[in-house]
Amino acid sequence: MTSSTDKAGSPGPAVPASIVGLSFAELTLSLETAGLDAKTARMRARQLWNWIYVHGQRDFAAMTNLAKEFRARIAEQMTLARPDVVTEQISEDGTRKWLLRTAPGIEFETVFIPEEDRGTLCVSSQVGCTLNCRFCHTGTQKLVRNLTPYEIAGQVMVARDALSDWPSTAENRRITNVVMMGMGEPLYNFDNVKAALAIVADGDGLALSKRRITLSTAGVVPMIERAGAEIGSSLAISLHAARDEVRDVLVPLNKKYPIAELMAACRTYPGVSNARRITFEYVMLKGLNDSPADARALVKLVAGIPAKINLIPFNPWPGAPYECSSWSTIEKFAEVVNRAGYASPVRTPRGRDIMAACGQLKSASVKERASERMAALRSAELARMPH
């Protein structure tokens, strides 16, 4: 499969594109286009899928159950490329952060958080963000663009490569959970996130069941129901305040979709039950949302929703306008929530020393002005014209 548009969506010379990010149906179809009959294409696609997503194989030549001739032909048409790793940082607590790049100026971060009983990969959905939450570092970076299915599923591939975590079906695999809690708002990139998560959740591939995938949203209400119906992952809501006056300031999106509407969407989220609770994330900000009265308002708000409340100590970043609540304040808050019958784990900050903790992610990518983009396009076009 060759195209004159690469996965980053920018025009360039015709280059073979990576298979990573294609759905099974797309892969099958591209094999048919390359000349295989439908039945053979399906069989080959199944074999390739297994090599790529179960074994992490990066070399067609090593796929020994495929005819040599087929391996050679496919290598001319497709690649097994992943996003490039620009940097890898390892925290003193074992958290790892990768800065990835797929095109000039398209950089995004992925974080692996190892714990006793699980390993969670925190995946980005956009370069930058449009939401401007006041306490979030990513929010200070303008949206550059949505990530493609290749770039989203590619984050899992890169992390598995770096951790030598193949085959994906191993009993003691290191990545056991995926959270869409990196840079960006996943529900503003619905189609690509949906396509990528279908690959991540595929039982014959990366095999992270939908229960082990959590999509976190700042509250894009009209998309929440669709997310439940079409993606079917667990849901987390970045709530952070129980009153609109406070939430309007912290999460400006609240002005568009206020708390009452958000809660209504949570109450009807498909598949919610006591066994499958919604996680409410609540960042602890000194003097702003951390009083016992705030805690009482919070439990009143979520009453009747099968919920977990995840208290997140605020993670500082250069120039942040807030401070983290004191430990004793957080404990008192947690106690109120607990007494009301909700689990209220306090999220241990991980990877703060490498700026990998919640809300600390940011890449140097900047949004080009439209005029700059046009100029770049024009000069690329000129360069391709016959002289």
Annotated active-site positions, please? 109, 358
Which one of the spans 131-139, 241-249, 289-297, 376-384 is the region binding ligand SAH (CB under 6 A)?
A: 131-139
Q: Name the nearest CA neighbour of 101 among 112, 85, 117.
A: 85
CB atoms within 10 A of CB 91: 19
Task: Answer whether 349's CB lies under 8 Å from 315's CB.
Answer: yes
**Using CB atoms within 10 A of its CB, is residue 229 exposed (0-12), middle (13-18) or buried (19+)?**
exposed
Measured distance CA(364)–CA(72) in Å, rounded: 38
Q: What is the DSSP letter of 348?
A: P
Q: Which of 100, 106, 312, 336 binds ligand SAH (CB under 6 A)?
A: 312
Which one of the spans 30-38, 161-169, 210-218, 261-269 is the region binding ligand SAH (CB under 6 A)?
A: 210-218
Q: Which of 217, 254, 325, 344 binds ligand SAH (CB under 6 A)?
A: 217
Min separation Cβ 337 and ligand SAH, Å: 16
If the CB atoms of residues 217 and 289 are measured against ligand SAH, the closer one turns out to be 217
If the CB atoms of residues 133 and 259 are measured against ligand SAH, the closer one turns out to be 133
| Token pair for 301 | 């708000």
If the CB atoms of residues 191 and 372 are measured against ligand SAH, the closer one turns out to be 191
Q: Name the nearest CA neighbour of 183 among 274, 98, 306.
A: 98
Measured distance CA(29)–CA(134) in Å, rounded: 45
Phi-psi region of 90 (alpha: psi -120 to 50; beta: other; left: phi over 0): beta
**Of residues 317-376, those binding ligand SAH (CB under 6 A):** 358-359
**Of residues 180-199, those binding ligand SAH (CB under 6 A):** 181, 185
Which one of the spans 3-11, 42-50, 145-153, 311-319 is the region binding ligand SAH (CB under 6 A)?
A: 311-319
Measured distance CA(284)–CA(238) in Å, rounded: 12
Nearest-CB residue for ligand SAH:
359
Which one of the spans 158-166, 193-201, 295-303, 307-315 is the region binding ligand SAH (CB under 6 A)?
A: 307-315
Residues at the site binding ligand SAH, with contacts judged by CB under 6 A: 133, 135-136, 181, 185, 216-218, 238, 281, 283, 312, 314-315, 358-359
